[in-house]
Amino acid sequence: MTTRKLLKISAMAVSLVVLLALVAWVMFVPQATGNGYVFIEAWGSHGSEPGQFDDPTGIAVTEDEVFVADSRNGRIQVFDHEGQFKRAFGTPGKAIGELGRPMNLTVHDGELYVPEYMNDRIQIFSLEGEPRRMIGTPGDGPGEFNAPGGVAVAANGEVFVADFYNHRVQQLSADGEFVCQWGKTGETGHQAGEFTYPTDVMLAENETLYVADGYGNRIQAFNRRGEFLYKWGGPLALGIYGPFNGWFSTVTGLTVGPANNILAADFHNDRIQVFTPQGAFLNTFGETGDKPGQFNNPIAMDVAPNGTVFVADFQNDRIEKWRPSVEPVR
């Protein structure tokens, strides 16, 4: 084979690779559309004093208050929307009212639902901090948990739990009786309806169930009858992680925002990603760092009724506050 032929074949091969890369980029890396978000303020630092955090791992927002799971301090801290400390409840432990690493929080019908990673239960408090009841015990049987990471509550009171180490999502009645589950207990998987360490769950207004498939690096959606709807995150949502638009590097929290858009905490990519309810990528906010408007492993977020977003910035031990931008993303 002559040198000229070799060069020709090499050039064709390189062209083909470039072409395939371009096609893959167009297919699997969507461009930002819609409005973005603007940083407003942040509060908190490392410690155990009021207003300080030692691993903020979850957040829930009401019309006038922000509840933060201050995990290693074994407590819930409550702030107003400007970050002024109001009260705290819980201490580390296993007894009623004590907390073993509280995770992704949910407020439903005037109560705070707290998944406890170490105690394998969901503990329910009044918003003032009074412990009311508990759901679940340790284990891998129906209605049992192994490190629950997130919880969602339907209008009828049914509870959905991301059962992290059991690689499943459980649906329970309001008093904790097992109804059904998604995923195979104790088995990871990348097919539809299978999970790899699910970290959080969320119910949209129409009661579509969204699951943050944590180390599966994707989000899966199911209808109210439990049927699989769609999944997204990286190429074909097969578990491939990455830094591109619409990809994840460990998705740790979910919430619903204006227009029923889905916000997802993209932990290792130091950003929050925003999607349509069907999973089409819209935009992203945040970048790596410890300066205002930057994140060092954002783990969870929630949206106030006025659209303001509060983010638990895990490694920076603080809460960041953002608002929707009126400027279109260019």
- What is the spatial distance between Cα 297 and Cα 57, in angstroms, rounded to a whole number? 10
- What is the spatial distance between Cα 85 and Cα 148, in angstroms, rounded to a whole number? 27
Instruction: Return the structure tokens found at 194.
Output: 């299978």
CB of 57 to other proteins, least distance (A): 6
Please tell me whether residue 299 binds other proteins under the rule CB under 8 A: yes
- What is the spatial distance between Cα 61 and Cα 39, in angstroms, rounded to a whole number? 17
Please tell me whether residue 295 binds other proteins under the rule CB under 8 A: no
CB of 71 to other proteins, least distance (A): 7
Question: Phi first, then psi: what are they for 204, rounded to 5°?
Answer: -80, 175
CB-nearer residue toward other proteins: 61 or 265: 265
Please tell me whether residue 67 binds other proteins under the rule CB under 8 A: no
CB-nearer residue toward other proteins: 71 or 77: 71
- Restricting to residues 35-64, name those near other proteins by CB under 8 A: 55, 57
CB of 97 to other proteins, least distance (A): 20
Please tell me whether residue 294 binds other proteins under the rule CB under 8 A: no
Please tell me whether residue 123 binds other proteins under the rule CB under 8 A: no
CB-nearer residue toward other proteins: 277 or 298: 298
- What is the spatial distance between Cα 37 and Cα 33, in angstroms, rounded to a whole number? 12
CB of 215 to other proteins, least distance (A): 8
Please report the sign of the dihedral spanned by the C-alpha atoms of residue 271, residue 272, residue 278, residue 282. negative
The edge-to-edge listing of strands for the beta sheet with 298-303 is: 35-43, 318-328, 309-313, 298-303
Distance, first Cα to last Cα, the chain: 50
Helix (H, G, I), strand (E, B) or coil at 178: strand
CB-nearer residue toward other proteins: 146 or 325: 146
Q: Footprint of other proteins on this chain (CB under 8 A)?
A: 55, 57, 71, 101, 117-118, 147, 149, 164-165, 197, 199, 214, 250, 252, 267-268, 297, 299, 314-315
